[in-house]
Amino acid sequence: MKKFSLFLLFSICFSSSLVHAKIQKDSADWLHYTIQKGDYASKIFEKYHLNNELDIQAFWEINQIKNKQILVLGVSYKLPIKVYPKMAGNIRSTIGISDYNHALRIQNWNLHLEKEGIKTQKMGPGKELWVRKSDLSGNYTQAKESKSELKISDLIDTRLFGKEANNIQILDSSLKGSVFYIISGHGGPDPGTNITLDGHFLCEDEYAYDVSLRLAKELVQKSAKVYMIVQDFSHGIREEKYLKHDRNEKVIGNKEIPLNQIKRLQQRTDAVNQLYQQNKNKYTHHRCIEIHVDSRSKKEQIDVFFYHHGQSSKGKDLSNLMLETFKNKYETYQKGRGYQGEIKTRNLYTIVHAHPTTVYIELGNIQHKKDQQRILIPENREALAKWMAEAVELEKKKNR
């Protein structure tokens, strides 16, 4: 699916490394950065120490971004940082403030960025000064460091993200009060469907797990509580095309995964139900999402499709919103291609026995060359997760 991978690579990749910011004549006095491949947008805030709610909110507003987290590869965005090309004496005279501590705060922040090599020109008379929006005159008295009542560690076992755990931040509260139980298919002694491609042994469980972990990241950044039912602490989110197979996966609670299919399905469904019982009175919105990769004839190309319980109206609603979201994304980024995903009811074990509303997702046919690109290319796996997260956010808003 070459077109699928290209549109994601060039238009939907939110993750980014930051090109050193520079002033541009057409951007007034806001600092700019350009999105590149390979990082999360939350790193923007971390890299420039934008840890104030005023600054974070200003970022979305000054760039007129309604759907948070969707940034475009190669495009320059404004940071909520004003650039004064030439200091008029000291900090206070430059920006028109009188409070010494206020100026000291700005000075220390500039010095910190200079020390880290982010700001290449040192402060001083006639030289460049940067000022965060939260530190501009009139905002300082309102500015308080963002101390969210929630931390990522409150929402998920952060060890699952490995080294990337420190780069994941809560960005908004759109899914606060929600709990998600995410099951990635197979794992442990059962690799699921598999193929050998370009000399690599590729297994369903590794790709389902990577998409599931990416989905978990998206959800916790929206303040949702997330349980990864199948867990592998040897991997965070992986950016490789060919994901190496192992048998490190266990079920939450460090439980070995049985080889027997019925016992395996029962074990993970029981884990979901136990957690649901613990949380049903604490949270108002519970959803279970199970993710798989299908295997069919090499000639049969399929789009992402969804299963739900035949008697679950909420399962049907979430499936419909998932399908509509994917359909809209295809129409936007692959106009004219069409989207043939579908929704079916099916009495699969998790769907029947899990207590929370459950949606079962098949990502594509691992045997088909174009479908393979949907799961092999990491940017595509990221997009799949983002679209799912967008759909569950819409579903929660609809059911408020």
CATH number where 180 lies: 3.40.630.40
Is residue 5 very low, low, confident or very high in pLDDT (cuts 50, 70, 90)?
A: very low
Tokens of 297: 């004839």
Q: Is the dihedral of CA 29, 30, 34, 38 positive or negative?
A: positive
Whether 197 and 103 share a structural domain:
no
337 found inside a domain: yes
Whether 82 and 174 share a structural domain:
no
Domain boundary, last residue among 111, 142, 173: 142
Whether 163 and 56 share a structural domain:
no
Whether 131 and 161 share a structural domain:
no
Give pLDDT, residue 140. Answer: 53
Whether 51 and 180 share a structural domain:
no
Give pLDDT, residue 38. Answer: 59
Whether 166 and 292 share a structural domain:
yes
Whether 134 and 229 share a structural domain:
no
293 found inside a domain: yes
Tokens of 358: 């459950």
**Domain count within the chain:** 2
1 found inside a domain: no
Evaluate if residue 3 carries a pLDDT over 60: no
CA distance 143 to 196: 56
CA distance 296 to 371: 11
Tokens of 298: 């090499």
Whether 130 and 159 share a structural domain:
no
Whether 304 and 189 share a structural domain:
yes
2 found inside a domain: no
Give pLDDT, residue 227. Answer: 98
Is residue 229 very low, low, confident or very high in pLDDT (cuts 50, 70, 90)?
A: very high
The proportion of the chain whose per-residue pLDDT surpasses 90, expressed as a percent, equals 62
More confident residue, 258 or 25: 258
Give pLDDT, residue 57. Answer: 84
User: Of 61-70, 284-293, 334-343, 373-382, where does mean pLDDT reach its minimum?
Assistant: 61-70
- Under a CB-based contact definition with an 8 Å cutoff, are residues 216 and 194 in contact? no
147 found inside a domain: no
Q: What is the pLDDT of residues 56-106, one digit of tens each?
A: 888 988 998 876 556 778 889 999 999 998 888 889 888 888 888 888 889
User: Of 95-104, 211-220, 308-317, where does mean pLDDT reach its minimum?
Assistant: 95-104
- The arithmetic mean of pLDDT across residues 305-331, rounded, is 96
Give pLDDT, residue 105. Answer: 85
More confident residue, 64 or 18: 64
- Domain extent for 202: 152-398
Whether 23 and 135 share a structural domain:
yes
User: Of 89-98, 310-319, 320-329, where does mean pLDDT reach its minimum?
Assistant: 89-98
Is residue 197 very low, low, confident or very high in pLDDT (cuts 50, 70, 90)?
A: very high
Evaluate if residue 388 carries a pLDDT over 70: yes
User: Of 119-133, 284-298, 346-360, where does mean pLDDT reach its minimum?
Assistant: 119-133
Whether 99 and 159 share a structural domain:
no
- Report long-range pairs for 269-276 (Cβ below 8 Å, ≥24 apart): 269/349, 269/350, 269/353, 269/354, 271/229, 272/181, 272/183, 272/227, 272/229, 272/350, 272/354, 272/355, 272/356, 273/353, 273/354, 273/355, 275/179, 275/181, 275/227, 276/179, 276/181, 276/354, 276/355, 276/356
Whether 184 and 229 share a structural domain:
yes
